[in-house]
Structure 1
Amino acid sequence: MAKIFLVVFLISMVPLVELRGAIPVGVALVSSFLGLGEAALSVKHVVLINLFAMVGNMVPVPFIYFFARKFLEWGSSRKYIGKICNFFLVKGKKGGEKLEQKAGRGLFFALFLFVGIPLPGTGAWTGTLAASLLDMKSRQTVLSVLCGVFLAALLMTLASCGVFGALGAVFA
């Protein structure tokens, strides 16, 4: 069982997949290991899956915040990676400025929702990189991303355990 939680932890650190992929995998693996359906998982197992996924998803955040921008700036003048680094710098800066103009003082909340709503490309990696390019303070960034990761974990757990499907069946 410990190997399953290690897999969840490692999957949640992968960019683009993050905990949006780790939680459903964890629920499926634990259910399969115990011979249960997703709805029969104990609260203890669900909490452990979420804890490992959230911690794994947050591990790269400080590295991204402090080093990704420096790497992109360094790489922008290099022969083989210059174009892609420039693309990310320009795209991130423009997108960040748009977000900042629309959000104003609500940038913390905007970043929280950006990370928290589990859509492709809107996880902790992307949110942290955007915050870094916007020069958000590190403490504010980490707290906003952490809150977003918590929301994404909650939504993915409910989806993985079939709660949304059950609600759809009841209210359809």
Structure 2
Amino acid sequence: MLKQIVFLTLVTLIPALELRASIPYGILGKEGLGIIPGLMPWPAVVLVCVVVNIILGMAVFYVLSPLLGWLERFAWFKRFFSPILARARGKLKPYVDRYGEIGVAVFIGIPLPGSGVYTGAVGAFLLGLDRRKFAVANVIGVLIAGTVVTAVTLMLQAGLSLPWLEWICKH
């Protein structure tokens, strides 16, 4: 079981994938797709992925201040990363302006590429969101994303196990 937890943790840590990939991978990775035989039950998969994603968001948020302070001493960093940071700020700003920290939670909770805890943490940091407010938004957002991804994955799993689908695949 430790091997499965480590694997799910590593997939969850990948930027742009996060729990949006690790939950489906963990749930569908049983006998059906043969990705990781003997994976944990789906509630355990969801718990591991959600907890890791929450911790990831907080870690990114807390590390940004000292890291950016150090990196901004280098001209190459300013030239290359300033546009990326500005884009992250621009993606999140409409949500924060309109909804406050709930906007950050919604942004993190939207299970689409380009949203998630990495972008949410960077954007919240750049917009000056308080650590406590980000922590609440991060937890709510990850729970939203985890719920949506789990529901869709379980529906997909139920659809994949239907006899008619097996018949179609054989013919």
Tell me the TM-score normalized by structure 2.
0.77
Matches of 2:69 and 2:18, distance apart in 1: 25
- Quote how far apart the aligned CAs of 1:149 are: 0.7
Per-residue CA deviations over 1:88-116 (Å, capped at 9, x if unaligned) read 33334444444333x1xx21221111111
Give 1:86's aligned amino acid: S
Matches of 2:91 and 2:108, distance apart in 1: 15
Matches of 2:157 and 2:118, distance apart in 1: 26
Per-residue CA deviations over 1:2-55 (Å, capped at 9, x if unaligned) read 322221122112211100010111012234435xxxxxx9xx811100111011
Partner of 1:27: 27
Give 1:7's aligned amino acid: F
More moved, 55-64 vs 76-85: 76-85
- Written as runs of structure 1 = structure 2, the 5 A alignment for 1:64-79 is 64-79=60-75
Matches of 2:63 and 2:5, distance apart in 1: 28
Partner of 2:44: 48
SS at match of 2:15: coil
RMSD value, Cα: 2.5
Partner of 2:5: 5
Specify every segment of 5 or more residues in structure 1 that has no aligned partner in the other structure, as ranges.
Answer: 35-40, 167-172
Matches of 2:130 and 2:114, distance apart in 1: 22
Partner of 1:113: 106
| Native 8 Å contact 1:76 1:83 kept in 2 | no
Give 2:119's aligned amino acid: T
- Quote how far apart the aligned CAs of 1:142 are: 1.1
SS at match of 2:76: coil
- The total of aligned residue pairs comes to 155
SS at match of 2:13: coil
| Native 8 Å contact 1:20 1:152 kept in 2 | yes
- Quote how far apart the aligned CAs of 1:163 are: 5.2
Counterpart pick for 1:62 among 45, 58, 64: 58
Q: CA 1:74/1:87 → structure 2, altered by over 3 Å: closer, same or farther? A: farther
Partner of 1:169: none
| Native 8 Å contact 1:72 1:85 kept in 2 | no
Matches of 2:92 and 2:155, distance apart in 1: 35
SS at match of 1:120: coil
Matches of 2:2 and 2:126, distance apart in 1: 37
SS at match of 1:81: helix
Tell me the TM-score normalized by structure 1.
0.76
Work out the percentage of aligned pairs sharing the same amino acid: 23
Counterpart pick for 1:90 among 86, 93, 107: 86
